[in-house]
Every structure is written in C-alpha cells, then in structure tokens.
Amino acid sequence: MAPEKRHKVTVVGSGNWGSAIAKIIAENTRDHPDVFEPLVQMWVFEEEFTLPPTSKHYNGSSAGPQKLTGLINHYHENVKYLPGIRLPDNLHANSSLHDAVKDSTILIFNLPHQFIARTCDDLIGRIVPYARAISCIKGVAVSADNVSLFSDVISEKLGIYCGALSGANIANEIGMEKFSETTIAYDPPSEDEESTSSSKPAGHSKLTPIPHGYPTVDAKILKTLFHRQYFHVRIVSDVAATSLAGALKNVVALAAGWVIGLGWGDNAKAAIMRVGLLEMVKFGHMFFKGHGIRTETFTEESAGVADLITSCSGGRNFRCAQMSIQRNVPIKEVERTELNGQSLQGIGTSYEINSFLKAHGKEAEFPLFTAVYEILEGKAEAKDLPDLIERDPAPKL
C-alpha cells in the first residue's frame, strides 16, 4: 500500500561530490515515485561560469560567462564540477537555498566544511521541523579541546536528526557509474523507532516526530534513496566512526605517500596503513565513548578500511606526500605547485589532531599521528617512521 505522503529530497551543495550524490538521489526518486517526490532540488552556490572549449557543449564561440544553475539545468550536467556526466532530468539546480529546502523532509548536506555553519544558520526556521538529514561531508571539526562531528553541528543548529554518509567514494568514479560501496550511519532517537544504540549525542531529545502519512525515515528508506546497482549501501548505527574515519585516513595517507616516495614498496605502505587504521580505532574509542563507537566500523565498513585503501592508492594526500619526498621539497610546496589553490586536508587534520592530542596529553599513544605531525613540522624525517611507530621493540632477554 502506497503511503499517503511522499518525501521531498533536497541536496544542499553541488560540488564534485555533491553533484555525484545528487545524481544518485534523483535516479532513485525517479525509480521510486511511490515514496519520493521525483523532483530533487540541488542547492547551488550561484557563480558565473564560461564553458571551456573542452566541454562538449562548447559551440565554437564562447557565449561568455553564464550562471552555473542555468547551465546545469539547461545541459543536465554540472559543467564546472562534474563535467561530462549526464544528470537526471528530475534534478533541478536551484540558487535559492530557502526555495530549495522548502517542504523538504530529507536534506542531504554535501558542501565544503567551511560553509556548513553559515549555511545552517541561514536554514534556521526555513526547514520543516520534522526533516531528517544526512551529512556527506568528510572530516570533523577539531578545536584544541574538542572534536565535533559535522552531523552533530548540523543536528544542533537545526534541531533535526542528522546521520552521516562516507565511504571509498571518489566522486568522478561514481559519476561514471563505476562500482563503489558506501556506508550510511543513521541512528536517530527512538521517536523514529529504528534506533538500536542506547547512546545519543546531545540535543536530540526534542526531535519532532515525522507526521503520520509519511513513510518512516529508516534504514529501508535510506537504502532505497541511495542504493544503486553501481553504488552499494550498507547502513550502520555508528555515526561517530563513520565520520571520524573520513578525516583521520588523510593523515595516514600522508605517511603512506612518504614511504612510497622513499621507494620502500608495498610491504611498507601496507604496514603504515595497518598501524594507521588501528590508531583511528583507538582515537575513536578514546574520545567518542558514549557515542556507540564500534571497532568494526573502522575495520569492516566502506567508510573505514575501504576508504583508507582508496585514499592510500591515488588520493591527493598520498600523491602529494609521495612527490614531496621524490622531489625533496616540503609538502607545502607540492601543495602550492600542484593543487591550484586547493589545500591538502591531511595537513590541516594532522595539525588539528596533534593540538587536540597535546591538549589531552595523549600524543605518545598515537605514534603514527604524532610522527606525521613531527615530519610535517620538519622535526623528524619520513625515513625514521619505522622507529617512530615502533611500540613494542624486541625485548631484552
């Protein structure tokens, strides 16, 4: 029996990863019009864009700068951030944040983390109070004495429940429908009756129930919304580890890049990844007790071990770290010369995590994270990594 009401879905953000997720969402709302309003809004931070001659839509003479939303809706392609990928007709680029989220019951957040707070501020009072959210934003917000999950930031600012999506998800590959998996962590308080965890982050006690007539937003409906033949979804309850792993893996990827840059081979890289994975697990248990954190999320889910593998294969942090050794220049210089103004997340995360560990007196318990920081600071060398991460040398007999 079809439900009386259908969920309306909005994707907040339209970069490379935002557009790839929006494509999946729109494919699934189109395929399941019984539970979802097929038309998906995608909020686009409006900008002007000039079609490059490499675009298949370029017609020999440039039309000059045009509005990105107009280009996306006209060509059904995010010509700037996900060029070459056809987006579904039922995905609508919208430059008005307020209009894009109007009446939406499911909000997918997928924007650069520096925009999260102000975007949420702008959304206060503009969303339906019973909306549910998923954050696809990689990383965590770290201050000297606190690590916050972006899902909690969204949740607290808007007074709605927010889960997290993360995985071995290079956006371009997903856009091209090359096979991927992802992890969705979703564990709202019991109003929704799908909770299994006993521990909740603060601020969810006043969660507004979803009105009668709407399908419950649960694991089944999220799977229907995100799962594709080329994008396999597993639903877990552990939001903390799902989010944390996506930040910490970038620190490990720097170290993996360095040892490959040193010419040390696959054994060394695998060793660094293994040690890094265990420090990720340890960090989660030490600082997210009471969040229902589970070792298995790191060691068995796409958001954990698989994302780490992808990041240490050809990810940006890995590649720049490798180049910095091969060219014998500081990684900051590689970042400057190779990334066209973008920054390496691993560097920022490494400094933030180190400040946080220092503030808690726990540096020594995370030898790899600490070694990466020391190497970035020029206080240690990558070639000393085996000694720096050695926790248990051969005993004196």
Backbone angles phi, psi at 236, to 5 degrees: -125, 175
**Interface residue with a copy of itself, options 110, 180, 317, 324 (CB under 8 A):** 180
How far is residue 278's CA from residue 366's CA, in Å, rounded to a whole number? 9
- Out of 33, 129, 209, 386, point to the residue binding a copy of itself (CB under 8 A): 386
User: Is there a binding annotation on residue 115?
Assistant: yes
Q: Is 145 in the site for a copy of itself (CB under 8 A)?
A: no
Residue 13 in marked binding region? yes
44 closest CA partner among 111, 134, 90:
111
Which one is catalytic: 8, 23, 249, 269?
Answer: 249
Only one residue has tokens 């070792």, namely: 295
C-beta of residue 369 within 8 angstroms of C-beta of residue 251:
yes
- In the complex, the smallest distance separating the C-beta of residue 309 from a copy of itself, rounded to whole angstroms, is 4
Q: Which single residue is written with the structure tokens 């997340």?
A: 345
Strand, coil or helix: what is 148? strand
Q: Is 43 annotated as a binding residue?
A: no
CB proximity list for 328: less than 8 A, separation 6 or greater: none
Which CB sits closer to a copy of itself, 20 or 376?
20
- The whole-angstrom distance between residue 300's C-alpha and the CA centroid of its chain comes to 17
Distance CA 266, CA 259 (A): 9
C-beta of 110 vs 169, nearer to a copy of itself = 169
Among 268, 321, 323, 347, the residue binding a copy of itself under the rule CB under 8 A is 268
Q: Looking only at residues 227 through 246 of this chain, which bind a copy of itself when binding is defined by CB under 8 A?
A: 227, 229-230, 232-234
Active site residue 56: no
Name the token pair of 307: 């994302």
- Both tokens of residue 303? 């958001």
Provide the minimum distance between the beta carbon of 69 and a copy of itself in the complex, in angstroms, as a whole number. 28
Rounded least distance, CB 195 to a copy of itself, Å: 19
Residue with smaller CB distance to a copy of itself, 173 or 381: 173
Q: Are 331 and 251 in contact (CB under 8 A)?
A: no
Beta bridge partners of 146: 143
Span near a copy of itself by CB under 8 A; candidates 44-52, 113-121, 164-172, 190-198: 164-172
Alpha-carbon gap, residue 300 to 179, rounded angstroms: 18
Q: Is 163 helix (H, G, I), strand (E, B) or coil?
A: strand
Owner of token pair 């799962």: 227
The verdict on 393 binding a copy of itself (CB under 8 A) reads: yes
Minimum gap (Å) between residue 194 Cβ and a copy of itself? 13
* Binding of a copy of itself by 310 (CB under 8 A): yes
Are 243 and 304 within 8 A, CB to CB? no
Give the interface with a copy of itself as residue ranges (CB under 8 A). Answer: 28, 32, 34-35, 168-170, 173-174, 178-181, 215, 220-221, 223-224, 227, 229-230, 232-234, 259, 263-271, 273-275, 277-278, 281, 296, 299-302, 305-307, 309-310, 313-314, 385-387, 390, 392-395, 397
Catalytic residues: 249
Binding-site residue ranges for NAD(+): 13-18, 45, 115, 171, 316, 345
